[in-house]
Structure 1
Amino acid sequence: MFKSRSLTLLALSLGLALSACKPTPSAETTAAADPAAATPGAAPITATAADTTAAQCPHADFNAFLTYFSNDIALQEKSVADPLTVQSVDAEAQPEPRPVTKQVPLAEVEWPVMPDTATLPRQGREMQVTPQADGSVQVRINKPDTSDQQTYTFAQKPCWQLQKVVDESI
């Protein structure tokens, strides 16, 4: 009798003790809910705009971006505005050729949209990179003494993105 009563009291005590306990959140759960709670007394860790851009934009430096962009169609497909502004010369226009501007949906852009800059010298073509006052960058590719001339305008949105192509070739 004493044994069964002791076991009943023990079970009852254990049940009360367990029901009074609340699970304590792990450090990871607490950190996810409140970054400041991860380390007592620590300030919350926040990502800066530069950190976020660096994580999203693997090529923040324009020259590095341009090298990869001109060489990698997959990067071109991710880094072209939708729609892309394309200006070309209508050589058939009367009374004389005139510029024509189109908004080309990404699905209709012809790839590659820009030649590989590493191959330009072998083709007798030159490249000039010019930063603009508004923060954009223009890349002019041409073959001297011909009408073969294209200008590519890039802007950070937040990553570098091709916004406009002007093809002055006739």
Structure 2
Amino acid sequence: MRRYPSLVMLMLACSVAVTACKPAPQAMPVDPEPAAPATTAAAATPAPVPARNECPYPKFDAFLKHFGNEITLQEKATADPLLDSHIDAEAEPEPRKVESRLALADVEWPVMPDPAALAGQGRELQVNTLADGQRQVQIRTPDSSDQQTYTFAQAPCWTLVKREDESI
């Protein structure tokens, strides 16, 4: 080294110059540009609200056909709790109507029979539209007390909100 002091100094100077030109690893940003716009756009865009036309069956007739034979649809389109009522035939002095709020976990499936199978069972189906837009589906066996009424509301998709069993 004593022989070539200027060479050592030159190498040392080059080493320092090259190191000084390189950015420190922690100072280098890791792709900051794409993250910032995505975060800003997500914060500025509200979550989409399901529209009526996003319901699988917005028309009641199509909904009822599928609701009657698809237990998975019944499970998704039944209110929790379900307003439920039946006649207690053993009540004294007379039979009486018993009403309750049935948790979805306690509902027995299927909650409603398949409308397509009713004729073969000697049963009838009648659909009525109520003043508030709800639909009532009455299933009965003629000349008997065997009668159930199912009430559906649209909020925003059709949902079973009440079941009444008037059979004695």
Q: TM-score, normalised by structure 2?
A: 0.74
Aligned position for 2:16 = 8
Q: Give the corresponding residue for 1:50.
A: 51
Indicate if the aligned counterparts of 1:86 and 1:165 stay in contact, CA closer than 8 A.
yes
Distance in 2 between residues matched to 1:155 and 1:19, nearest whole Å: 60
Decide whether the 8 Å contact of 2:152 with 2:161 is kept in 1: yes
Unaligned runs of 5+ in 1: 38-42
- Change in CA separation of 1:141 and 1:30 when aligned onto 2, cut-off 3 Å: farther
Counterpart of 1:122 in 2: which secondary structure? helix
Within a 5 Å distance, the mapping from 1:150-169 to structure 2 comes to: 150-169=148-167
Q: Secondary structure at the match of 1:64?
A: helix
Q: List gaps (5 residues or longer) in structure 2.
A: 1-6
- State the shift of 1:141 in Å: 1.2
Separation of aligned partners in 1, 2:119 and 2:48: 42
Considering only aligned residues, what root-mean-square deviation do their CA atoms show, in Å? Answer: 3.1
Q: Counterpart in 2 of 1:117?
A: 115
| Number of equivalenced pairs | 160
Quick check: 2:51–2:156 contact (8 Å CA) kept in 1?
A: no
Shift of 1:71: 1.0
* Contact persistence 1:35–1:45 (CA under 8 A): no
| Separation in structure 1 between the aligned mates of residue 106 and residue 27 of structure 2, nearest angstrom | 65
1:47-87 Cα offsets, whole Å, 9 max, x none, are: 35417x82xx4333333322222112232223222222212
Among 95, 98, 120, which residue is 1:97 paired with? 95
Shift in Å, 1:136:
2.0
Tell me, yes or no, if the aligned pair for 2:83 and 2:102 is still in contact at 8 Å: yes
> How much has 1:31 moved relative to structure 2?
5.2
Aligned counterpart in structure 1 of residue 73 of structure 2, from 72, 75, 82: 75
**Structure whose alpha-carbon radius of gyration is higher:** 2
- For 1:137, the equivalent position in structure 2 comes to 135
